[in-house]
Amino acid sequence: MEILRINVIIDESYSVKGKCMVNMVLFHGEAHSDLFSGKILPGGVDTQIYSEDKSLISAKYILEGTDKSGGQCRIFIHNRTSSDGKLRPAIITDSKSLAYLQDSRLWSEIIPTDDGVDIRICEE
């Protein structure tokens, strides 16, 4: 079940190639769902590491907005590749009505768009 969709707009990216390829992608965007609506605060970054045998993704950002009860809140998201190869977001929030997400088993998927990507965060 989808709990949050985040429209990510890429601002700029930096790369370095050595033993492996590393990309750092800076971004901004907005999130909308029945549970939360808000924006990504400055400082969102996605670090992508590609080697011959694997790829690792680690995106970290904070959303600021309104939760389902109408209260102002922030949500920290760390979306990363897990040992099972899936993207697994971890959430920390100061919202009482969304606090249960901190203990939920979540997965996510990346959907390309014209100016970035959409991130679908789903609860198992």
CATH number of the structural domain spanning residue 114: 2.40.160.20
Using CA atoms, how far apart are residues 87 and 84, in angstroms rounded to an integer?
Answer: 9
Domain that holds residue 68: 2-123
Question: Which residue bears the tokens 């100061």?
Answer: 94
Contact 24, 46 (CB under 8 A): yes
Give Cβ neighbours of residue 41 (< 8 Å, ≥ 6 apart).
Answer: 61, 62, 63, 64, 74
**CB atoms inside a 10 Å sphere around CB 122:** 16
Each residue's pLDDT tens digit, 57-96: 999 999 999 999 999 999 999 999 988 889 999 999 999 9
The whole-model pTM stands at 0.93
Structurally, how many domains does the chain consist of?
Answer: 1
